[in-house]
Amino acid sequence: MRVAVIGVGYVGLVSGACFAQFGHHVHCVDKDPQRIAALCAGRMPIYEPHLDALVADNVAAGRLTFGTDLAAAVRDAEVVFIAVGTPARRGDGHADLAHVFACCRDIAQAIQGYTVVVTKSTVPVGTGDRVEHIMRVVQPQGAFAVVSNPEFLREGAAIADFQHPDRIVIGTQDERARAIMTNLYRPLAEAAVPLFFTTRRTAELVKYAANAFLAMKIGFVNEMADLCERADADVAGVAYGIGLDRRIGAQFLQPGPGFGGSCFPKDIQALIKSAQDYGVPSRIIETVAAANEQRKRSMARRLIKACGGSVRGLTVAVLGLTFKADTDDVREAPATSIITALQDEGAEVRAYDPQGMDQARALMPDIAYATDPYSCVAGAHAVAIVTEWSAFRTLDLARLRSRMAGSVLVDYRNIIPAAEAAEAGFRHVGIGRRSVT
- Residue 295 near ligand NAD by CB under 6 A: no
Among 35, 200, 296, 401, binds ligand NAD (CB under 6 A): 35
DSSP 166: S
Size of the site for ligand NAD (CB under 6 A): 26
DSSP 253: -
DSSP 436: B
Q: How far is the CB of 349 from ligand NAD (least distance, A)?
A: 26
**Residues in region 153-212 near ligand NAD by CB under 6 A:** 153, 155
Euclidean distance between CA atoms 281 and 386, whole angstroms: 34
Residue type, 52: D
Rounded to whole angstroms, what are the CA distances from 334 to 41, 157, 330, 409?
34, 20, 9, 17
Among 10, 66, 162, 208, binds ligand NAD (CB under 6 A): 10
Among 3, 83, 188, 303, binds ligand NAD (CB under 6 A): 83
Instruction: Single out the residue of 58, 134, 148 nearest to residue 103, CA to CA.
Output: 134
Among 99, 302, 413, 428, binds ligand NAD (CB under 6 A): 99
Closer CB to ligand NAD, residue 330 or residue 341? Answer: 330
Q: Does 13 show up as a binding residue in the annotation?
A: no
Closer CB to ligand NAD, residue 88 or residue 377? Answer: 88
Choose one: 82-90, 171-179, 400-408, 423-431; the region binding ligand NAD (CB under 6 A).
82-90
Closer CB to ligand NAD, residue 96 or residue 423? Answer: 96
- Residue 16 near ligand NAD by CB under 6 A: no
Asked if 183 contacts 1 with a C-beta cutoff of 8 angstroms, the reply is: yes
- Residue 84 near ligand NAD by CB under 6 A: yes
Cα of first residue to Cα of last residue in the chain, in angstroms, is 61
**Residues in region 130-159 near ligand NAD by CB under 6 A:** 151, 153, 155
Got the DSSP string for 24-80?
A: -EEEEE-S-HHHHHHHHTT--SS--TTHHHHHHHHHHTT-EEEES-HHHHHHT-SEE
- Residue 117 near ligand NAD by CB under 6 A: no
Q: Does 223 show up as a binding residue in the annotation?
A: no
Q: Does 359 show up as a binding residue in the annotation?
A: no
- Residue 277 near ligand NAD by CB under 6 A: no
- Residue 334 near ligand NAD by CB under 6 A: no
Q: Does 252 show up as a binding residue in the annotation?
A: yes
Reported as half-sphere exposure (CB side, CA atoms, 13 A), residue 437 has a value of: 6
Closer CB to ligand NAD, residue 84 or residue 300? Answer: 84
Pattern 368-387, binding to ligand NAD, x per CB under 6 A? --------------------
Q: How far is the CB of 100 from ligand NAD (least distance, A)?
A: 8
Q: Does 217 show up as a binding residue in the annotation?
A: no
Q: Are strands 25-29 and 64-67 parallel, antiparallel or unpaired?
A: parallel
Closer CB to ligand NAD, residue 49 or residue 243? Answer: 49
Q: How far is the CB of 16 from ligand NAD (least distance, A)?
A: 11
DSSP 418: H
Euclidean distance between CA atoms 72 and 435, whole angstroms: 60
In 331-385, beta strands by DSSP E? 348-352, 368-369, 382-385
Q: Does 219 show up as a binding residue in the annotation?
A: no
Residue type, 326: D
Rounded to whole angstroms, what are the CA distances from 76 to 3, 32, 254, 334?
8, 21, 46, 43
Say if residue 395 is exposed, middle or buried (CB neighbours under 10 Å; 0-12, 13-18, 19+): buried
Asked if 343 contacts 408 with a C-beta cutoff of 8 angstroms, the reply is: no
Closer CB to ligand NAD, residue 30 or residue 348? Answer: 30
Among 115, 127, 149, 262, binds ligand NAD (CB under 6 A): 262
Catalytic residues: 263
Contacts of 244 (CB under 8 A, 6+ apart): 250
Euclidean distance between CA atoms 63 and 408, whole angstroms: 52
- Residue 30 near ligand NAD by CB under 6 A: yes
- Residue 69 near ligand NAD by CB under 6 A: no
Q: How far is the CB of 28 from ligand NAD (least distance, A)?
A: 9
Binding residues for substrate: 152-155, 207, 252-256, 260, 324
Positions touching ligand NAD (CB under 6 A) are: 6-12, 29-32, 35, 83-86, 99, 102-103, 121-122, 151, 153, 155, 262-263
Binding residues for NAD(+): 30, 35, 86, 122, 155, 266, 331
Binding residues: 30, 35, 86, 122, 152-155, 207, 252-256, 260, 266, 324, 331
